[in-house]
Amino acid sequence: MTEPLVAVIDLDLPGATISRHLYGHFAEHLGRCIYGGFFVGEDSAVANEGGIRLDVVEALRAIRIPNLRWPGGCFADDYHWRDGIGPRESRPRMVNSHWGDVVEDNSFGTHEFMQLCEMLGADAYVSGNIGSGTVREMSEWVEYLTRDDDSPMAALRRQNGREQPWRVPFWGLGNEAWGCGGNMSAEHFANLARQYGTYVRNHGDNTVYRIAAGANIDDYSWTETLMKALSHLGCAQDPRGFYQALSLHYYTINGDWADKGDATRFGLEDYYVTMKRAQHMREIVRGHANVMDSYDPLHNVGLVVDEWGTWWNVEEGTNPGFLYQQNTLRDALVASVHFDIFHDYADRIVMANIAQTVNVLQAMILTDPDTGALVLTPTYHVFRMNVGHHDASALQVRFKGAVPTRAVEGEELPLLSISASTTEDTALVSLSNLDAEHAQLIVLDLRGRALAGFAATVLTAGTLQAHNTPDRPEAVVPVAHDGVRAHPDGLAVDLPPHSYVTVSLRLV
């Protein structure tokens, strides 16, 4: 009999804090994410408060949603915030040219977004318009949101019914400036980011963490240019610089952008290619982190992965501009692998936002356009199982022996992904068995602290293609896992094929 693989975890050696903001979200005016997803309007038959769906809020509160990025995406650089304030019936309309070429009536605007954040208990991450907006426009938006005196913008906010300023901790300076956000060169954008960042002011005790639109995938030279733009003024290590973080976007697709693969109809080889593409996030993060390290060894500048997740071909019969896709067990494993990578780079990645929360791309929640029924996706359940990692300290996982691999597109794909974290008297270990056909047995060699108890949860299904629908909302849901037992070194853990398992430990 072959010896089981051993994963050594030193429970008494906590590392960097895994910010809860790594579990952040993204909601764009795209398809049915805002309209029909978050916002149904006050007259809807779906239970709501101020037009905001209560079931969606409740589901997201249950996974402790830490922040929400809005209004885009590409939409952000077309969005003029003054169109979304004041009486709804007199708000101007616009064309959402990026997403379906539909008419946007601006009924969901600044006040609705901030109300949503308050209901969710989430921090606001507002994405400001650099592509087609002015410096003044951005500066006034911050003033409108966060200022507490009789300044012109604070007075306008009061006139629109909100007395107290809001807290807005995160601010995006543009989005994908290399593409839909203005097709700029890195040098041109770096200058604009410094300029706009200057006018995104801290009002009162609201301190804004400014995030400059960063690189696409492995465009390390974009990151280098933005880091240089801080460092030649000696700001890279000064948290009071023009921007405090850079973003990064990377999506997992299966084919190419012309044919990204189907969400539910895929074969075994497609699955492994997907897992390889998901794991590619590690290489990309490492590359950007290396560039950042060379300018900022003290890690004062954050990396914000504010768009990540799977991007499949849209579901048949849906608007191609609405990016609506189903979500299977495969998507859940893409998510769990990403979190392992984010945990490993917790000393550099300060935030991550899956794209997108409701009805768009790798969503947590799908809502039926006709009945309004809500379905929680397998990806949602990974977020739920990982709540224990929020603000915990990362623990290193070292393997004794070789992790099994499989050849995929000429490279060896690791078939196991593990990460762990600890708080004062608990630890959480996350294990993804990416082997679609075989179970794995792992011994957790737990050192440095004694165990007072453990409990485990597993997310899996009969097939990789399994997904939840209004008719079968619980086809893929986490259940208690009885495949964990005491072992002389710690715990032995059975991992069923294509499964995600979390083991929570109580520590003495």
The set of catalytic residues is: 176, 307
Question: In angstroms, what is the minimal distance from the CB of 455 to ligand AHR?
Answer: 36
How many Cβ atoms from other residues are within 10 Å of residue 212's Cβ?
A: 28
Nearer to ligand AHR, 284 or 501 (CB): 284
Q: What angle do CA 130, 134, 135 make, to 5 degrees?
A: 90
- In the complex, least distance from residue 265 CB atom to ligand AHR, rounded to whole angstroms: 22
- Least distance between ligand AHR and beta carbon 257 (Å): 10
Residues of this chain that bind ligand AHR (CB under 6 A): 28, 72-74, 175-176, 307, 355-356, 361
Look up tokens 């992904």; give the residue. 417
In whole angstroms, what is the distance from residue 151 CA to residue 287 CA? 44
**Structure tokens that stand for 99 in this block:** 């997403």
When the beta carbons of 63 and 74 are compared against ligand AHR, the nearer one is: 74
Residue-wise burial string across 239-262, b where 16 or more C-beta atoms lie within 10 A, e elsewhere: eebbbbbbbbbbbbbbeeeeebbb
Residues 341 and 350: their CA atoms lie apart, in Å, by 13
CB of 391 to ligand AHR, least distance (A): 26
**Which pair of tokens denotes residue 370?**
């006709």
Q: Which is nearer to ligand AHR, 28 or 435 (CB)?
A: 28
* Minimum CB–partner distance for residue 308 and ligand AHR (Å): 10
**Closest approach of Cβ 180 to ligand AHR, in Å?**
6
Q: Which residues, at least 6 apart from 88, have a Cβ–Cβ distance to it below 8 Å?
A: 105, 106, 107
The distance of Cα 186 from the centroid of its chain, to the nearest Å, equals: 24
Report how far residue 496's alpha carbon sits from residue 500's, in angstroms, rounded to the nearest whole number: 8
For ligand AHR, the closer CB: 28 or 140: 28
For ligand AHR, which is the closer residue by CB, 101 or 293?
Answer: 101
Q: Give the whole-angstrom CA distance, residue 446 versus residue 449.
A: 8
Name the closest residue to ligand AHR (Cβ).
Answer: 73
Cβ closest to ligand AHR, residue 177 vs residue 395: 177
- In the complex, what is the shortest distance from the CB of residue 75 to ligand AHR, in angstroms, rounded to a whole number? 6
Dihedral of alpha carbons 349, 241, 134, 157, sign: positive
CB of 307 to ligand AHR, least distance (A): 5
Q: What is the DSSP string of 392-423?
A: PEEE-EEEESPPPEEEETTEEEESEEEEEEE-
Closest alpha carbon to 201 in 143, 148, 252, 137: 143
Q: Distance between CA 194 and CA 190 in Å, rounded?
A: 6
Peptide bond preceding 152 in cis form (omega within 30 of 0): no
Q: Residue 74: which of 122, 30, 111, 32 has the closest Cα?
A: 30
Shorter beta-carbon distance to ligand AHR: residue 75 or 144: 75
Query: Which residue lies nearer to ligand AHR by CB, 4 or 179?
Result: 179
- The contacts of residue 111 (CB under 8 Å, 6+ apart) are 85, 160, 161, 162
Say which DSSP state 84 is in: G
